[in-house]
């Protein structure tokens, strides 16, 4: 289901087990966070349409981590530069089926990542500034993107509504995940936009949500 959250933020929230995708329409550049799998195609086109954009208007794809259910639709946006944390990107570039979990999906097309994300980096889309927060644990190269002014947290598979991501896949580390959640606990999150499942509005609810995830570690 496509949701217009603001003039600049559009969400494709999967109604099945699929991945969510977020579209950010900055004044300088339009970007997607985690396009998802190729089976998202029709819904992705709907997401673009609701923002008044075409596939070629997407110039940047930001990845929260290197799992195939998050990058499998990258090839639909040939003009976009694809960025990811180096710790996951090197595995994606070498088509590592274990680290990318690509064997869970049929016919995965791998992107080529030439530019890497690192902690504290600020990505300025024009009117939208995303801070990169390194949050290893679900994978080695997991990151979250935080728009401080709006309180938007794009949490990938690190934090969901009611729980955190798995730490038992290749590259996963439960201890590192707990440390990452502590890092997120310090943020003033007004809207949680995770890689799967629903989104969560409200500062108090988000505070409780991070506390809950930590208490389950
Ligand atoms: Zn994942
Ligand atoms: Zn995922």
Number of the ligand closest to the Cα of 14:
2
Q: Collapsing DSSP states into helix, strand and coil, what is residue 38?
A: helix
pTM of the predicted structure, to 2 decimals: 0.97
Number of the ligand closest to the Cα of 66:
1
- Give the whole-angstrom CA distance, residue 24 versus residue 177: 27
Cα separations in angstroms, 126 against 8, 26, 83, 105, 133: 10, 5, 18, 35, 19
Over the stretch 35-89, which tens digit does the pLDDT of each residue have? 999 888 999 999 999 999 999 999 999 999 999 999 999 999 999 999 999 999 9
How far does the centroid of ligand 2 lie from the alpha carbon of residue 18, in Å?
8
- Give the whole-angstrom CA distance, residue 190 versus residue 200: 8
Number of the ligand closest to the Cα of 65:
1
How far does the centroid of ligand 1 lie from the alpha carbon of residue 35, in Å?
13
List, in order of start, the domains of the chain with CATH numbers: 2-215 (3.60.15.10)
Q: Collapsing DSSP states into helix, strand and coil, what is residue 97?
A: helix
Over the stretch 131-158, which tens digit does the pLDDT of each residue have? 999 999 999 999 999 999 999 999 999 9
Question: Residue 17: pLDDT above 80?
Answer: no
């Amino acid at each position: 289901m496509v949701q217009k959250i603001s003039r600049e933020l559009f969400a494709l929230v999967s109604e099945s087990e699929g991945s969510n995708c977020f579209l950010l329409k900055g004044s300088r550049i339009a970007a997607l966070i985690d396009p998802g799998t190729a089976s998202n195609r029709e819904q992705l086109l709907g997401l673009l349409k609701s923002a008044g954009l075409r596939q070629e208007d997407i110039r940047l794809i930001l990845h929260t981590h290197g799992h195939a259910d998050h990058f499998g639709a990258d090839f639909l946006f040939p003009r976009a530069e694809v960025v990811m944390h180096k710790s996951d990107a090197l595995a994606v570039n070498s088509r590592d089926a274990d680290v990318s979990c690509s064997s869970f999906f049929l016919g995965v097309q791998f992107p080529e990542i030439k530019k890497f994300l690192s902690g504290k980096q600020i990505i300025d889309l024009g009117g939208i500034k995303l801070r990169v927060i390194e949050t290893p644990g679900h994978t080695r190269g997991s990151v979250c993107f935080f728009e401080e002014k709006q309180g938007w947290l794009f949490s990938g598979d690190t934090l969901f509504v009611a729980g955190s991501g798995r730490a038992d896949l290749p590259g996963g580390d439960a201890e590192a995940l707990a440390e990452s959640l502590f890092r997120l606990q310090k943020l003033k999150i007004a809207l949680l936009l995770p890689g799967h499942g629903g989104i969560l509005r409200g500062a108090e609810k988000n505070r409780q949500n991070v506390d809950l995830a930590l208490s389950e570690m």
